[in-house]
A and B are shown apart, each in its own frame.
Chain A
Amino acid sequence: MKVIELKSLSKIYNPDTIPVRAINDVSLSVEEGEFTAIVGPSGCGKTTLLNMIGGLDARSEGSVEVGGVSIQDMSESQLTTFRLQHIGFVFQAYNLIPVLTAKENIEFIMVLQNMDAKTMQERSDDLLDRMGIKDQRDRRPSELSGGQQQRVAVARALASRPKFVLADEPTANLDSGSTEALLDIMAKLNEEENITFIFSTHDQRVIDRAKRVIMLEDGVIVSDEHR
């Protein structure tokens, strides 16, 4: 089952002055359960592509379908709700809410989804357990290591039971131990629960673990390797 389908997708900056094609006529589909890495040099358009898939940025041309739903014509408010219900985000800088504890950060998404308290409690406990950070549940981000913060971020991304998780350079700020631990968790979730992960990354350790590697250069897919 396709979770993402991009057709002739382009992103053009400064269309009226000096047009720059950050993404140029990209067509791509991602099946459920894929563990995909989008790689390429800096400025090749990885983050722009991820932003358009996640409905954070508008496309200039082409179309984006997520779970069979076209998102390009959605209003800003509809897109926000769509992201909340269907897409999990993991950022390079973790971007946890600094004033909430690890557990509250995970529950925050579920509060936005108006989930009932019992389900929320069970789900956050389960995620904390699976991420191996149950002991850190009451700590705020500033009291956690980078690796622990990124695990909380992954748990937060999964809290809403999204169709897929978009992770933009998730290991860029982590040491090798934390990177391996995080990748182990994500790989396990992918294998055991068929959760779809799409990474943008430079990190060879991530690329090595990916089941599919899409190489971008100057906004164009130059290779798409299934492993």
Chain B
Amino acid sequence: MILYIKLAWRNVWRSKKRTWITASSIAFSVFFACLMQSSQLGSYDNMIDNSARFFTGHLGIHQVDFWEDQIIDNSFDQQELIQLDLSNSDILIGVPRLSSFALASYGDKTKGAALFGVSLPLEAEFSYLKRKLIEGDYNKKGGVLMAQGLAANLNLRVGDTLVLMGQGYHGVNAAGKYPVTGILKFPIPALNQGAIYLPLETLQEFLSAPNMISSYSILLKDSQDTELMRSHMETILKDKELGLMTWQEMLPDLVSSIELDYYGGWVILIILYVVIGFGIFGTFLMMIKERTYELGILNAIGMNKHRIQTMVAIEIFLLIFLGVLMGLLMATPIILYFWSNPILLSGDAALAMEKFGYEPIIPFALNFKIFYNQGISIFVIALFLAIYPMLAIKQLKIIKALNE
């Protein structure tokens, strides 16, 4: 076997230019495929993370009817959760949230607003809410934090008093006056045009719903563990009349758009693979056509076809391995760089992203699976194409080969 490897390795380098061209074409395909998939998966992670942090968490605990009918009457007493041990090493953080709607008024202007009652210190960690503050004091007690767009529509500034009117728990009237202690700027237009954040207790008092929460949102260390944690949490919640939902169930549109984009990405990858496949096939074709005479001689002097196939297979393996390795070595530092420094979009591209509710960045994912998948994909394609040289050797006729 050592002689075969030696022979194959030297044969690979017999035509240096051709070897480098083939290895480079494989390397570039692996490189682009890795980059493409990294940005794709990075975007998905970012979308999932954004949505999970701002809206649902990776897992959400609700009163059983809440998700179908998201009204204040379908909230539940947070004491029910306090009795349970929700601690788990896979959970990053959990936050109670109470949400409702109200009319927000200032002066002669009134707008509909989404009210979010949250624990401000916990929310600073969960949804990075504090980072959205562009004016005012995040921790100042007794006031509300308003989204920039809504504040602008109401002509409100920090220090002004906002009037809220709505319907509270079990139909009671809800009305109150609150000073604006801060202005928040969200990249997501829906939030920026209508969100008001209040301390949880303040909103509970406003809605006459003491201790009630709409949801308990849980953020996991790894979104891939959602299903695993769901099983764990279901065991804990089995005696409670509470529902548990995953982000996939709560955000079906996001799941669909990710799936659609993912398969779209694969179509592009397949086109790339086909183009590269022809390049690799051309090399294999030459590898056999150029050496028919030589292979005929080897067969004539006693090297059987299985051994010739083994030798050529090792050559192909080395060539592909070299190309894939080069591609991975090229892709790794670039992905590492963009993983820690996402591409910031500006201008129309940024506006378009924001319009769809996403941060205007192209993040990259750093995941071993990307390198593995692309490396293996190219390898499998190359091995598939290697069927041709193997068949050509099988059908080799010595006399015909010696007359080449």
- Taking Cβ atoms with an 8 Å cutoff, the residues of A that contact B are 51, 54, 56-57, 76-77, 80-81, 83-85, 89, 91, 95, 97-100, 104, 107-109, 111-113, 156, 160
Least distance between A54 CB and chain B CB atoms (Å): 7
Query: How far, in angstroms, from A89 to B298 measured CA to CA in the complex?
Result: 11
Q: Which residues of B contact A54 (CB under 8 A)?
A: 300
Contact of B304 with A by CB under 8 A: yes
* A156 touching B301 in the complex, CB below 8 Å, given contacts A56-B402, A99-B14, A100-B10: yes
Q: Which 9 pairs across A and B sit closest by C-beta, in order of nearness?
A: A84-B302, A99-B10, A80-B304, A95-B297, A111-B3, A83-B302, A56-B398, A57-B399, A89-B301
A-B contact pairs, 30 of them (CB 8 A): A54-B300, A56-B300, A56-B399, A57-B398, A57-B399, A76-B305, A80-B299, A80-B304, A80-B305, A81-B302, A81-B304, A83-B300, A84-B301, A84-B302, A84-B303, A85-B302, A89-B300, A97-B7, A97-B294, A99-B7, A99-B10, A99-B11, A99-B14, A100-B10, A104-B6, A107-B3, A108-B3, A112-B307, A113-B302, A156-B301
Query: How far, in angstroms, from A57 to B303 measured CA to CA in the complex?
Result: 16
Which residue in chain A gives the minimum CB-CB distance to B293? Answer: A95
B302 and A109 contacting across the interface, CB-CB below 8 Å: yes
A77 and B7 contacting across the interface, CB-CB below 8 Å: no
Least distance between A83 CB and chain B CB atoms (Å): 5
Which residue in chain B gives the minimum CB-CB distance to A89? Answer: B301
Which residues 149-200 of B have a CB within 8 angstroms of A? none
Q: Which residues of A contact B398 (CB under 8 A)?
A: 56-57
Interface size class of B (residues with CB under 8 A): 20 to 34
Which residue in chain A gives the minimum CB-CB distance to B301? Answer: A89
Query: How far, in angstroms, from A85 to B303 measured CA to CA in the complex?
Result: 11
Total inter-chain residue pairs, C-beta < 8 Å: 55
A109 and B301 contacting across the interface, CB-CB below 8 Å: yes
Which residue in chain A gives the minimum CB-CB distance to B299? Answer: A80
Which residue in chain A gives the minimum CB-CB distance to B13? Answer: A99
Q: Which residues of A contact B14 (CB under 8 A)?
A: 98-99
Query: How far, in angstroms, from A118 to B327 measured CA to CA in the complex?
Result: 42
Query: How far, in angstroms, from A98 to B10 measured CA to CA in the complex?
Result: 9
| Known contacts A97-B7, A108-B3; 18 further A-B pairs (Cβ under 8 A) | A51-B399, A57-B399, A80-B302, A80-B304, A81-B302, A83-B300, A83-B301, A84-B301, A84-B302, A89-B300, A89-B301, A95-B294, A98-B14, A99-B7, A99-B11, A104-B3, A112-B302, A112-B307
Least distance between B199 CB and chain A CB atoms (Å): 78
Query: How far, in angstroms, from A76 to B402 measured CA to CA in the complex?
Result: 16
Least distance between B5 CB and chain A CB atoms (Å): 12
* A77 touching B304 in the complex, CB below 8 Å, given contacts A98-B14, A100-B10, A104-B3: yes
B301 and A77 contacting across the interface, CB-CB below 8 Å: no
Least distance between A127 CB and chain B CB atoms (Å): 15
Query: How far, in angstroms, from A100 to B399 measured CA to CA in the complex?
Result: 24
- Listed residue (B302, B304, B305, B399) with the most chain A CB atoms within 10 angstroms of its CB: B302
Q: Which residues of A contact B402 (CB under 8 A)?
A: 56
Which residue in chain A gives the minimum CB-CB distance to B3? Answer: A111
Which residue in chain B gives the minimum CB-CB distance to A166? Answer: B300
Which residue in chain A gives the minimum CB-CB distance to B12? Answer: A99
Q: Which residues of B contact A51 (CB under 8 A)?
A: 399
Query: How far, in angstroms, from A80 to B302 measured CA to CA in the complex?
Result: 5
Q: Which residues of B contact A108 (CB under 8 A)?
A: 3
Which residue in chain B gives the minimum CB-CB distance to A107? Answer: B3
B303 and A100 contacting across the interface, CB-CB below 8 Å: no
Query: How far, in angstroms, from A81 to B300 measured CA to CA in the complex?
Result: 10
Which residue in chain A gives the minimum CB-CB distance to B399? Answer: A57
Which residue in chain B gives the minimum CB-CB distance to A160? Answer: B302
Q: Which residues of A contact B298 (CB under 8 A)?
A: 97
Least distance between A196 CB and chain B CB atoms (Å): 17
Q: Which residues of A contact B302 (CB under 8 A)?
A: 80-81, 83-85, 109, 112-113, 160
Q: Which residues of B contact A99 (CB under 8 A)?
A: 7, 10-11, 14
Q: Which residues of B contact A83 (CB under 8 A)?
A: 300-302
Which residue in chain B gives the minimum CB-CB distance to A80? Answer: B304
Query: How far, in angstroms, from A98 to B304 measured CA to CA in the complex?
Result: 19
Query: How far, in angstroms, from A112 to B10 measured CA to CA in the complex?
Result: 18
Which residues 237-282 of B have a CB within 8 angstroms of A? none
Q: Which residues of A contact B399 (CB under 8 A)?
A: 51, 56-57
Which residues 23-39 of B have a CB within 8 angstroms of A? none
- Listed residue (A97, A98, A113) with the most chain B CB atoms within 10 angstroms of its CB: A97
Which residues 272-329 of B have a CB within 8 angstroms of A? 294, 297-305, 307
Q: Which residues of A contact B10 (CB under 8 A)?
A: 99-100
Least distance between B297 CB and chain A CB atoms (Å): 5
B3 and A91 contacting across the interface, CB-CB below 8 Å: no
Least distance between B53 CB and chain A CB atoms (Å): 60
